[in-house]
Amino acid sequence: MGILHIKIKIFCNFFQKAFKARYKGTGTTTPDIYDIELICTDACATKQQERDTLAAIKKMVEELGPQSYLATAFDGCFEIAEQNIENDFADSMKDRWIHADMQFNSANGAIEELKEQLAESQRDLEAAHDTARAIAETNNAEIAALRERLLSHDDLTVVIHLVTEKRLALESEAKNAAERIVEAASEPESATFQNAVKDHRVAKSDLDYYTALFERLVKAKAE
């Protein structure tokens, strides 16, 4: 209690000196100050009273030195107090810290959400790559199977040669059957005539088929 009493006394003495200095500057007689009495606890101080009080506090802190604990604790607070007085603000270092902490937490939450979205997108991308890889492998397998079923250029050459020989043989058969038809034309009811007609019809049908097949094979080889 003794230490607290001494500090309060020093603080009061400082205000007594400041009070007397103001009267001295006006040239009027300075009234004696014998005591300080608390008249009201809820009265609002004027802006000038707050300016004077702030100036007194700043001077007391400055006298302790820039490395003092109070100077460190009040760093930035005096500027906020001046702004509050001049602009009717109700700002404080605590409110600023709380606001900054809320913004920091909000930013961290947004960052975490973005990280989760990025991770989810990465998982989706990997899944899409896996699907595309599986489809490509399936397509490659199907293509390989189709290629095995297709004839090579050399195979087509051989098949065309075989079909050509077959066509020549069928042309010969059709010609031979036509000659036999002519020879037996006088006896259309005979077995010779009937067989010749039948052989000619079969040979001509087979020849048409192999001719069409020949044309398709030649076209496929050209492509």
Digit-by-digit pLDDT tens for the chain (223 residues) are 334 444 445 555 655 666 566 556 556 565 555 455 555 555 577 888 888 888 998 899 899 898 999 888 888 888 988 998 888 888 888 888 888 888 888 888 888 888 888 888 899 999 999 999 999 999 888 888 877 777 788 888 889 999 999 999 999 999 998 999 989 888 889 998 999 899 999 999 999 999 999 999 888 888 7
The per-residue pLDDT for 211 is 92
For CA atoms 79, 85, 91, 94, give the dihedral sign.
positive
**Predicted local confidence at residue 167, as pLDDT:** 92
What distance in Å separates the CA atoms of residue 178 and residue 195, rounded to the nearest whole number?
11
Place of tokens 């006088």: 186
> Is the torsion defined by CA of 88, 19, 4, 37 positive or negative?
negative
3-state secondary structure of 30: coil
Q: What is the pLDDT of residue 165?
A: 93
Amino acid 173: pLDDT = 92
Take residue 55 and report the two structure tokens written for it. 């100036």
The pLDDT value recorded for residue 209 is 94
Q: The pTM is what? A: 0.38
Residue linked to tokens 């409110």:
95
